Structure 1
Amino acid sequence: MTTISSHIAVMAFPFNSHPSALLNLVRRLAASAPTVMFSFLSTAKSNHAIFSGQQYDNIRPYDVSDGLPEGYAFAGNVHEPVEAFMKATPGNFKAGMQEAEAEAGVKVGCLLTDAFLAFGCEMAEAMGVPWIAFWTSCPCALSVHIHTDPIRSTVGDIDTADKAEQTLKFIPGMSKIQICDLPEGIVDHLEMPIAHALHIMGLKLPEATAVVLNSYEEIDLTIITDLKTKLKKVLSVGPSALTFSSPSKADESGCLPWLDKHKAASVAYISFGTTLVPPPSELAALAEAIEASGIPYLWSLPDYSRRHLPQGFVERTSTRGMIVSWAPQLQVLAHTSVGILITHSGWNSILESISYAVPMICRPYFADNMLNSRMVQDVWEIGVRLEDGILTKSGTLKAIQLLLSDHKGKELRENIRLLQASAVKAVGSDGSSAKNFETLEEIIGSCS
């Protein structure tokens, strides 16, 4: 490697899609700044998963403690690893940063952290360096966390019977968001450690040198405009699916050749992300709806969950269906034969769906899923949420038929094509995301 001009410490929140989204941003920055060293700090498990043998000239992974006791065995409590990790911070990151500085021989001149790690504010201040926070979810969710205190004070004055369907019309761009759409920790479950961390984040982000979003301004212009009045710099630099290609595993299951055999916009692609699997009753209901609809399907489903499918389902639908343990999602969504995405409403999946103009059927689960699916159905009108928020045979079948219909389905497809066009424009040479990325490059370039 050439002489290091500056050193950036990158701190990941090592859960779900957070570290991979942050690494995608860092890879893009590293490619444009070859003399800048990026030390990527995350847990050993996370680094092993996202780097997977990949090596980069100016990105080096460093493992930090996950806070779990030696010999820990996961017992099903999804909050336990997160809480253990948060208790280990920021000491684990300080130790990792010291190791990185010793190896690079250059002091860290900037902190680039997942926005969840709001302690980056105090660390950067103590070091006298900039703090750049990366928000991996939708602008709507960021706005909710920035407005947590006003939301809590307003909700407290609402009669309990009317609370769930009360909208957030007092926040710019949120008139169709309901209280029932809010993530845990905003108005309920305040005792959760992650709720406390996100509240602190909302209070600290106005001190960040810049807040970077994997989004683009035109998708939520009113929300972005409001955020710009509360934060120093708001830099939407996505969608990442259209700005930088991530290394992908080989299509070992043959998804793409299988898709080649189908008509345009005829296949339903089913994926609930890398960590979620619907409960057995919902898996069975989804399979029954798929079978009754007659639609060709490509289903990304872990092997251990296949036993919950109805007996004989795989055999009866074998001529028009394919079930794989993993699918190259970007390539699948980009394929002309895919016409519907059935999703958990994670932000990455939604942005990728918009990037390739595939309407969605949303079954939200947790965190930002409810907010995202509300935006999909009622703001952007590019998909539908399932009735009662769960997978049932009748509700899923109804949603599939709606998306395939000549009237409503055509309308949803036209809406998502318009959003896709605005996304493509945003990442173009004169687009908003391209200009925001140039600003981010300038901030990185000024760190020493």
Structure 2
Amino acid sequence: MDDPGKALRVILFPLPFQGHINPMIQLANILHSRGFTISIIHTHFNSPDPSKYPHLTFHLIPDGLSEDQESKFDVLRLLHLLNANCIGPFRECLEKLMSAHDDIACIITDALLFCSKDVAQDLGIHRIVLRTSSVCSFLAFATVPLLQGKGYYSNNNLDSRREDPVLELPPLRVKDIPSIQRRNPNDALKILRNTVEATKAASGLIFNTFPDLEEPNHPNLHEHFRIPTFLVGPFHKFFSSASSSLLTQDRSAITWLDTQKPDSVLYVSFGSLVKMDEKNLIEMAWGLANSMQPFLWAVRPGLVQGSEWLESLPIEFLEVTGKRGYIVKWAPQQEVLSHPSVGGFWTHSGWNSVLESICEGVPMICSSFLGDQMVNSRYLNDVWKLGIKLENGFEKEEIESAIRKLMLDREGQEIRERLVCLKEKMDVSLKTDGFSSRSLNALSDLISSFKSSSGF
């Protein structure tokens, strides 16, 4: 018979990408603070450092990836391989944990690890899904079959329709539809369909967001996902945890920011996955230079295809910007965004970056490259009005204009004022009787109601 006073164990299975590991580790810390025992199953690829989290237990499984597959970092290819290769090792590890522990309540897996659905069903254990994106972008994913049926993915004239509105998904345009920008979107479509269908079969769905930001999208979730849904964000505001960055953070960025005037610096970072070509990097550089604004630029090694680091930047750019610009390989982003010298953030519109910017009241310039980023940037520009989207990709004139609007003009000030109001609502949501706190309570209650031996 189970000990009623014994802490229940929750097993987490993160997708091994930086933007997915971070929120999963944050959720692990939140649930641990609620009294749950936490075990994390993870792959060799992008393995987190267990020494940073002595209160959590880690279980390593093989992922079958070659060094060549890891180094190329083709996101779609990696998603396919991870879901194919990890089924057996994940099942074996989960079976061992279930044999060793009688206190397992459920597993929480990344939504993109849809391979976990069949394993959980076969072993009779409840599975909750964490979606590390916005609600609005996940609803766009869920609508993919409808859009495919209407020909959005098969029309050869998509380039001429890029600016057309998608009537089924306002305010999106054709160019904002997930995977539409790919020449052959079949692989992406398959992953999207598998993700959505596996999520529908889960016992619950967690989002790292809060309702004041996502209305009216939150109520629409239940049309597609008839399972308990929990908006429990922003995670990093619930629990201050050790950094789960997979890249070494250059703290000289903070030292340099300390020398700058308040609200004067534009912080530029495109996350851990984005790749771009040399031409776009050069357009970025001259847009930054011509804006005449101070900037802190995180240029991740490998950001530019075929380049090690900064060799693609013109010598003239470095000479013109001088001490006005500071370039690092990777920055402590949350600390940067909270620094009083930072007045704007040029982002790839990844969800973690968007949330962190909102939490610190920093207005955004929005680019987008893959996944949920197109939807996020459209909402930031058209609906939430918290950022300025670069509609034409990378053109130095548009970049210069956007930077000046954000940092110097009334438009940027109006965004800051909206962010102040939204931040106040977010703070209320995180309080004891706020929506995010109540949602966390409901999630904890659901997990506590599970028994690993009960099946479905």
TM-score (norm 1): 0.88
> How far apart, in 2, do the equivalents of 1:191 and 1:352 lie?
33
Task: Report the more deviating stretch, 83-92 or 434-443.
Answer: 83-92
Give the counterpart of 1:301 among 289, 292, 299.
299
Alpha-carbon deviation of 1:429?
Answer: 1.8
Amino acid at match of 1:379: V
- What residue number does 2:214 align with? 220
- Give secondary structure in 2 for the equivalent of 1:308: coil
Amino acid at match of 1:343: T
> How far apart, in 2, do the equivalents of 1:60 and 1:143 lie?
34
Q: Does 1:114 align with 2:74?
A: no
Alpha-carbon deviation of 1:176?
Answer: 0.7
Q: Is the 8 A contact 1:10 1:41 kept in 2?
A: yes
> How far apart, in 2, do the equivalents of 1:167 and 1:153 lie?
17
> How far apart, in 1, do the equivalents of 2:362 and 2:381 lie?
13
Give the counterpart of 2:77 among 80, 101, 104.
80
- What residue number does 1:40 align with? 40
- What residue number does 1:135 align with? 131
* Alignment of structure 1 residues 2-401 onto 2, 5 Å: 5-33=7-35, 36-47=36-47, 50-51=48-49, 53-57=51-55, 59-69=56-66, 74-75=71-72, 77-101=74-98, 104-106=100-102, 108-155=104-151, 163-170=161-168, 174-184=169-179, 189-192=184-187, 194-229=188-223, 230-248=225-243, 252-302=250-300, 304-390=308-394, 392-401=395-404
- Aligned identity (percent) is 27
CA spacing shift, 1:105–1:243, aligned 2, 3 Å = closer
> How far apart, in 1, do the equivalents of 2:66 and 2:253 lie?
40
- What residue number does 2:440 align with? 437
Task: Report the more deviating stretch, 310-319 or 322-331.
Answer: 310-319
Amino acid at match of 2:440: F
CA spacing shift, 1:199–1:332, aligned 2, 3 Å = same
Amino acid at match of 2:10: I
Task: Report the more deviating stretch, 279-288 or 147-156.
Answer: 147-156
> How far apart, in 2, do the equivalents of 1:4 and 1:45 lie?
33
Task: Report the more deviating stretch, 405-414 or 3-12.
Answer: 3-12
- Give secondary structure in 1 for the equivalent of 2:51: coil
- Give secondary structure in 2 for the equivalent of 1:389: coil
Q: Is the 8 A contact 1:207 1:231 kept in 2?
A: no
CA spacing shift, 1:156–1:402, aligned 2, 3 Å = closer
Alpha-carbon deviation of 1:110?
Answer: 0.9
Give CA deviations for 1:376-423 in whole Å, capped at 9, x if unaligned.
111111111214122x22111011111124322222222222222222
- Considering Cα pairs closer than 8 Å and 6+ residues apart, tell me whether 1 or 2 has the greater RCO: 2
**Unaligned segments of structure 2, at least 5 residues:** 302-307, 452-456
Amino acid at match of 1:66: D
> How far apart, in 2, do the equivalents of 1:350 and 1:121 lie?
29
> How far apart, in 2, do the equivalents of 1:207 and 1:80 lie?
24
> How far apart, in 1, do the equivalents of 2:340 and 2:242 lie?
22
> How far apart, in 2, do the equivalents of 1:327 and 1:23 lie?
19
> How far apart, in 1, do the equivalents of 2:333 and 2:389 lie?
21
> How far apart, in 2, do the equivalents of 1:283 and 1:208 lie?
41
> How far apart, in 2, do the equivalents of 1:61 and 1:78 lie?
24
Amino acid at match of 1:210: G
CA spacing shift, 1:155–1:219, aligned 2, 3 Å = farther
> How far apart, in 1, do the equivalents of 2:146 and 2:70 lie?
40
> How far apart, in 2, do the equivalents of 1:317 and 1:406 lie?
22
CA spacing shift, 1:189–1:438, aligned 2, 3 Å = farther
- Give secondary structure in 1 for the equivalent of 2:261: coil
Q: Is the 8 A contact 2:200 2:227 kept in 1?
A: yes
Task: Report the more deviating stretch, 360-369 or 146-155.
Answer: 146-155
Alpha-carbon deviation of 1:78?
Answer: 4.4
CA spacing shift, 1:52–1:273, aligned 2, 3 Å = farther
Alpha-carbon deviation of 1:43?
Answer: 0.8
CA spacing shift, 1:410–1:76, aligned 2, 3 Å = closer
- Give secondary structure in 1 for the equivalent of 2:323: coil
Task: Report the more deviating stretch, 338-347 or 425-434.
Answer: 425-434
CA spacing shift, 1:188–1:152, aligned 2, 3 Å = farther
Alpha-carbon deviation of 1:70?
Answer: 7.6
Alpha-carbon deviation of 1:146?
Answer: 2.2
Amino acid at match of 1:236: L
- Give secondary structure in 2 for the equivalent of 1:109: strand
- Give secondary structure in 1 for the equivalent of 2:136: helix
- Give secondary structure in 1 for the equivalent of 2:172: coil
CA spacing shift, 1:163–1:299, aligned 2, 3 Å = closer
Amino acid at match of 1:40: I
**Unaligned segments of structure 1, at least 5 residues:** none
CA spacing shift, 1:260–1:135, aligned 2, 3 Å = same
- Give secondary structure in 2 for the equivalent of 1:14: coil
Give CA deviations for 1:298-339 in whole Å, capped at 9, x if unaligned.
111235321111204334433222211221100110112111
Q: Is the 8 A contact 1:208 1:231 kept in 2?
A: no
Give CA deviations for 1:351-392 in whole Å, capped at 9, x if unaligned.
1111111111122111111111101111111111214122x2
Alpha-carbon deviation of 1:23?
Answer: 1.5
CA spacing shift, 1:299–1:71, aligned 2, 3 Å = closer
Amino acid at match of 1:176: P
Task: Report the more deviating stretch, 213-222 or 276-285.
Answer: 276-285
